[in-house]
Amino acid sequence: MVKYIIKRLLLSVLILFGVSIILYALLRCMPGNYVEIKFTTNPNVQLSEERIEQMYELYGLNDNIFVGYLKWLFGNPTLGTKGAILFDFGNSFLYDRPVTEVIADNMWISFILTLLSLVIYYPLAVFLGTRAAVKQYGAFDYSTTVLTMIGISFPTFFFSAIVVRIFAYGLGWFDTALGLQSSGLISPTGWELFIDRAWHLVLPILVTVVLSIGSIMRYTRTNMLEVLNADYIRTARAKGLSERSVIYKHAFKNTMIPMVTMLAGLLPGLFGGSMILEDFFGIPGIGQIGYTAMDQGDIPFVMGYNMFLATLTVIGMLLTDIMYVLVDPRVKLTK
């Protein structure tokens, strides 16, 4: 296994290198950049051509894509950076702080939101998927399938708007001012601030749970149906074991093998945030920060943020393979 992990880590380095090239090329090909958006398209700011060139030089945008990428990777003396290869992604144009600091300060609210949603929807999806498989073609199976298909079909912004319309504007249970603090609350501290912020996370968590539960439930149902049709399940029933013992002691245990491995794949989502959800609800998480930076052409932050997600993704893929071996001894990592 050690040899396999070393090979995968070396391969991950090549993958991240390729991802960084594609990302940087796409960002430099965008129709606008930070200097244009902030200075040349702002009617309140009048700059001479010479001053604009100085701004391009200051932000390191006067080079072509190839040279710009090399400076991003190995360091830019103009910006005083050591390069992404030494984990120095430079200063964010928009937030005027090191990219790593901005990510570290804003990813935790996204982590809390996603983790709480995961704790709710994952066990619930497994339960619903298992029951739907046991009650195949029954009323419970059809009803849960329809509801989950509706949840999967709804775009995030559309379902968020429905939830806000019903629970905030219709029932008045939540403050219509989006964000993590009620509009009428002035300088809250301690438990008052904690409870207020927790209450404002209810709707985003509800949206995340409803939109995420469907895919996990369908995956669980498919796996359970496959296991229930296996020969050893028919043998267990032929031996006279109770249906409850057959399902929850024999079938469910093997159904959870692929489900456990999926947990590692959720790693990028835990820290990466949700751009659409956080922007809609005004949550100052890493997703909203990344969306704003993308909109403003903040190349250092967008590069750092996406490389952060790419790194989490390759780590999650490696953990998935390792977890599969741990939960299923029949699988061996040899290549």
Query: Angle at which helices 299-327 and 2-28 pack, to 10 degrees?
Result: 150
For residue 155, being part of any structural domain is answered with yes
Higher pLDDT, 153 or 271: 153
Supply the pLDDT for residue 42.
62
Whether 165 and 252 map to the same domain: the answer is yes
Task: Tally Cβ neighbours within 10 Å of residue 246.
Answer: 19
Supply the pLDDT for residue 43.
63
Separation in Å, CA 126 to CA 133, 139, 171, 240, 256: 11, 18, 31, 26, 9
Closest CA to 311 of 110, 112, 100, 118: 100
Most confident among 151-165, 238-252, 264-278, 320-334 (mean pLDDT): 151-165
**84-96: pLDDT as tens digits:** 888 888 888 888 8
Higher pLDDT, 8 or 99: 99
Supply the pLDDT for residue 327.
67
Reported as a pLDDT band with limits 50, 70 and 90, residue 315 is confident
Given a cut of 70, whether residue 335 has pLDDT beyond it is: no
Supply the pLDDT for residue 48.
67
Given a cut of 80, whether residue 128 has pLDDT beyond it is: yes
Whether 59 and 203 map to the same domain: the answer is no
Given a cut of 80, whether residue 189 has pLDDT beyond it is: no
How many domains does the chain divide into? 2
Among 24, 55, 86, give the residue marking a domain's end. 86
Supply the pLDDT for residue 281.
82
Whether 121 and 8 map to the same domain: the answer is no
For residue 98, being part of any structural domain is answered with no
Separation in Å, CA 120 to CA 35, 46, 49, 204: 44, 53, 56, 13
Residue spans of alpha helices (H) in 135-242: 139-153, 156-163, 190-200, 202-228, 231-238
Tell the burial category of 272 from Cβ atoms under 10 Å away from its Cβ (0-12, 13-18, 19+).
buried
Closest CA to 103 of 273, 267, 286, 268: 286
**36-89: pLDDT as tens digits:** 777 666 666 666 677 777 777 777 777 788 888 888 888 877 777 788 888 888
Separation in Å, CA 302 to CA 8, 22, 52, 56, 100: 26, 13, 22, 18, 11
Report the CATH number at residue 195: 1.10.3720.10
Contact 158, 248 (CB under 8 A): no
3-state percent breakdown (helix, strand, coil) of the chain, nearest 5:
75, 0, 25
Supply the pLDDT for residue 332.
66
Given a cut of 70, whether residue 133 has pLDDT beyond it is: yes
Reported as a pLDDT band with limits 50, 70 and 90, residue 176 is low
Given a cut of 80, whether residue 333 has pLDDT beyond it is: no
Reported as a pLDDT band with limits 50, 70 and 90, residue 182 is low
Residue 98, φ and ψ in degrees, nearest 5: -55, 140
Whether 286 and 154 map to the same domain: the answer is yes
**Position 195: which residue type?**
I
Given a cut of 80, whether residue 269 has pLDDT beyond it is: no
For residue 227, being part of any structural domain is answered with yes
**pTM metric for this prediction:** 0.80
Report the alpha-carbon distance of residue 164 to residue 280 in Å, rounded: 10
Contact 23, 303 (CB under 8 A): yes
For residue 335, being part of any structural domain is answered with no
Whether 113 and 24 map to the same domain: the answer is no
Supply the pLDDT for residue 184.
62
- As a whole number, the mean pLDDT across the chain is 80
Over 100-139, what HEC string results? HHHHHHHHHHHHHHHHHHHHHHHHHHHHHHHHHHHCCCCH
Supply the pLDDT for residue 28.
83
Whether 191 and 125 map to the same domain: the answer is yes
Question: Encoding tokens for residue 313?
Answer: 């993704």
Given a cut of 80, whether residue 32 has pLDDT beyond it is: no
Supply the pLDDT for residue 33.
73
Kindly state the percentage of the chain with pLDDT values over 90: 1
Kindly state the percentage of the chain with pLDDT values over 70: 88
Supply the pLDDT for residue 106.
86
For residue 95, being part of any structural domain is answered with no
Whether 169 and 274 map to the same domain: the answer is yes
- Domain residues for the domain of 122 are 106-327
Lowest mean pLDDT among 16-20, 176-180, 221-225: 176-180
